[in-house]
Amino acid sequence: MTSSLAGRNAIVTGSSRGIGAQIALDLAKAGANVLLNYKSPSSATKVEAVMKEIRSINPSVRVGILHANVGDVDIGQKFLKSSTDLFADGDASQLKIHILVHNASDTRFRYLEMETWESINDQLQANIRGPFLITQALRPHIPNHDNARIIFVSSVSSRVCGPGQAMYTASKSAIESFARTWNNEFGVRQGITINAVNPGPVQTDLWDEAPEDFKKAVLQQMPMGAPSDVSDVVLFLASKESRWVSGSVVSTNGGGMTM
């Protein structure tokens, strides 16, 4: 059982659907204020639905939406402004970000001969540069020694490395290295835990869009999960009970890595 997150300010990137939406909902249920984020115009109605559900389950929390591509070069400043407006009534000197969940990613299935430099850039910018710039911009507002949390949603693909996922698996390995490096750089000394989770296959619309041969191969190695299977682990990592877990990649794939 995780403790209440009442009064904590949380950001969840890519939170209009799937795992990200479930994480945002569960954080709000636990009492956290939440800044949602989405990129695609087609996801606008979905993120509005998430915000509406949050307000219905916990009317006391603050919830807002940032429409932005995490691959934008100025994404750090965009999150800084939106979080300041939502959590600190526009006063940056009063801004505190207690929970930062990097969930958004550009997921593509492309074999070597199909890859283009545009696709490579899009994936690297969204999956690596984006989390880096967001954390860099918000770091001055992540309080030291106050159970603050930075959590990356990686993927079992970073270790399974399935065909057609070269750039995706490389980028997920990169953010796992962020968790370990930043834990050593400032996390341990400043009392901020920094971890990653690596989900296996999860039943979302993104999974539904994956190639059939890929899905068949993956499900031969590990079981299918639900968004809540991942969100429950993230909720634990966001709580004070996880204070002794940092610099880790937590398996959230039903034991598939051992099969």
Is residue 20 a contact partner of residue 12, using CB atoms and an 8 Å limit? Answer: yes
CA nearest 31: which of 58, 1, 65? Answer: 58
Tokens of 110: 């492309």
Question: For residue 65, what are the β-bridge partners?
Answer: 36
DSSP state of 210: S
How far is Cα of residue 178 from the mean position of the Cα atoms in its chain? Answer: 13
How many helices, marked H, and strands, marked E, lie in the chain? 11, 7
Is residue 97 a contact partner of residue 142, using CB atoms and an 8 Å limit? Answer: yes
The answer for residues whose C-beta is within 8 angstroms of residue 12's C-beta and 6 or more apart is 20, 23, 24, 27, 34, 35, 36, 37, 101, 103
The catalytic site residues sit at 168
